[in-house]
Amino acid sequence: MPLTDTACRNAKPDDKEYKLTDERGLYLSVQPNGSKYWRLNYRFDGKQKTLALGVYSDVGLKEAREGRDAAKKMIAAGVDPSVERKARKLARSMAVSNSFGAVSLEWLSKQEPKWSEGYFKKVKARLKQNVWPWLGKSPISEIKAKDVLEVLRKIEARNANDMAGRVRETIGTVMRYAVATGRAEYDPTPSLKGALTPHVVKHMPSVTEPKRVGEILRAFDAFSGTHTVRCALLLAPLLFCRPGELRQMKWSDLDIEERKWYIPALIMKKRRPHIVPLSRQAMTLIEEMRPVSGHLEYVFPGARDPKRPMSDGAVNAALRSLGIDTKEELTGHGFRAMARTILVEKLNFNGEWADAELSHAKKGPLRGAYDRTIFMEQRVHMMQAWADYLDDLKAGGQVIRLPLAS
C-alpha cells in the first residue's frame, strides 16, 4: 500500500529502526533518534543495492518518488544510479579544487617560503581584492582571455593601470602553474598584450641633489616623535636598506664587535641573507636604542606591542611630519636611490659595490652566487665614507669629490 504524507509525518521513533514501504522499492527509514531517511532498494548487475534519496521532511514524498523514478530510468538505460551520483560528486569536488581560487592559493603556498612576509601578503591581497571576487570560483581550465580582460578592465576603470598590469602578470603566473600541474591547457594572458592602457612607470620619489640632502638631514633635528622612530629615521639614510628590513632589525642579528648587521634571508625581498657594514655613526644610533629595547627582540619595537617591530610606515610618517612630501620628493625607500646615485655619480664609488650593498642580484653567470660576501672590505670603507659625507652635508660644509674608487 502506497505511503501518504500523513503517515510519513506521524511516524514515531521506536527502539529499533523500522521501514515504511512505498512502491517500486522506495521506503522511509525511521531511526530511533527520530530521523527519517528516504531509501531506494534496487538491483543492478544481479546485485542488491540501496540508494539514498534525502532526508524527510527536507525531501517530501512527492520529491522522493521523483528521485526514485529518475533512478529507475538510469537503471533501465544501463546506468548504476549510485555510481553516477559518486561521479557527479567527484566532478563537483574537482571543480572546486580546480577553481582559479583554489589553484592560486596552492600556488601562493609554494611561493611563501621564497618570499618575504610583506611581499607574500601584498600578492595575496592583490588576488583577494582584484581577482577572486570574479574568477575565484571559475574552473581554471575554462578561463579565457576575455574573462581575464573583463577583470582587468574593472581595475583600469579605477585608473589603476599599474595594478592592472601587475594583476595580469600574477594571473598569468597562476595559469602557467595550472598548466604545469595538469589543471589547464594554456595561459590566456599573452593574448592580452597591447589590450591594456600603458602604464607610465613612476619610480619611488628620492632626492639626489647634495644640497637638498643636507637640508633634509638638518630637518631631522626638528623631529618630535618617539625616540625609537627618531633613531630609525636617522639610520635610514645611513644604511639605505629597505624600510621593512630596518624595522625588523634584531639585536641577535647584530655583531657589535665586527660592526656588521647580518640580515636573515627570511626578511630579505629575494630571500638571500645579506650583511650590512655599520659605520661609526650607525653604531652610535643603535647603541642609543639599547636602554629602550636592549632587553627585547627588536631594536625598534612597536609602540603598542613591544614584542613586535615598529610600524611599516613609521619612517614615512616621520618624513611627512617634517613637511617632506612622500609622494613627490622622498620616501623611506627613496634613501636607496639617493645613496646609489650619489655614491656612484658624486663620490666615484664603484657601482658594483653600491649594488652589492643594496643587495641587488648580480646579472650574468654569477647571478646565483651569494652576493652577501662580495666586496665586503670595499663596502666597509664605502659605508663609513658615506656616513662621513652625510655628516658634511648636514653641517653645510664643502662637499669634496672623492678620488675615483675602483
CA distance 188 to 148: 8
| Statement to judge: residues 222 and 148 lie in one domain | no
Is the domain of 115 the same as that of 31?
no
Which residues contact residue 271 at a Cβ distance below 8 angstroms, ignoring those fewer than 6 apart?
A: 113, 114, 115, 116, 265
Domain boundary among 192, 225, 241: 192
Residue 197 lies in a domain: no
Which strands make up the sheet holding 254-255, listed edge to edge? 254-255, 260-263, 274-277
* Co-location of 381 and 256 in the same domain: yes
> What pLDDT is recorded for position 232?
96
109 and 222 in a single domain? The answer is no
Report the CATH number that the domain containing residue 59 is assigned in CATH.
3.30.160.390
- Tell me, what's the pLDDT at 207? 87
Does residue 121 sit in the same domain as residue 106?
A: yes
pLDDT at 397: 57
Q: Specify the pLDDT at position 400.
A: 45
Q: Is residue 48 part of a domain?
A: yes
**Is the same domain home to 86 and 113?**
no
Residue numbers of the domain that contains 114: 100-192
Return the pLDDT at 83: 86
Q: Is residue 261 part of a domain?
A: yes
Is position 406 within any domain? no
Q: Which three cell numbers stand for residue 152?
A: 582587468
In-domain check, residue 401: no
| CATH code assigned at 238 | 1.10.443.10
Q: What is the mean pLDDT of each run of 10 residues along the chain (406 residues)?
A: 91 94 94 95 92 94 95 91 81 74 92 84 92 92 94 89 90 95 94 73 73 92 94 96 93 96 84 91 97 96 94 92 90 92 93 89 50 78 96 75 46
> What's phi and psi for 266, nearest 5 deg?
-55, -35
**Predicted local distance difference test score (pLDDT) of residue 335:** 93
Q: Which residues contact 369 (CB under 8 A, 6 or more apart)?
A: 362
How far the first Cα of the chain sits from its last, in Å, is 102
Residue 404 lies in a domain: no
Catalytically annotated residues: 242, 269, 333, 336, 360, 370
Same domain? For 234 and 178 the reply is no
CATH number at residue 186: 1.10.150.130
203 domain-assigned:
no
This prediction has a pTM of 0.56
Residue 264 sits in the same domain as residue 120:
no
Q: Are residues 48 and 132 in the same domain?
A: no
Answer with the one of 93, 111, 134 that is the final residue of a domain. 93
Q: 185 with 275, same domain?
A: no
- DSSP labels, 49-110: EEEEEEEETTS-HHHHHHHHHHHHHHHHTT--HHHHHHHHHHHHHHHHHTBHHHHHHHHHHH
Q: 249, 282 in Cβ contact below 8 A? A: no
66, 93, 120 - which closes a domain: 93
Element (H, E) at 385: helix 376-395
What CA–CA distance (Å, rounded) separates 211 from 376?
29
141 and 290 together in one domain: no
Kindly state whether residue 402 falls inside one of the protein's structural domains. no
How far apart (Å, rounded) are the C-alpha atoms in residues 169 and 378?
38
Please indicate, yes or no, whether residues 254 and 121 belong to a single structural domain of this protein: no
Max intra-chain CA distance, the chain: 109
Residue given cell 626638528 in the structure block: 222
Number of domains in the chain: 3
Q: Residue 181's CB: how many other CB atoms inside 10 A?
A: 13
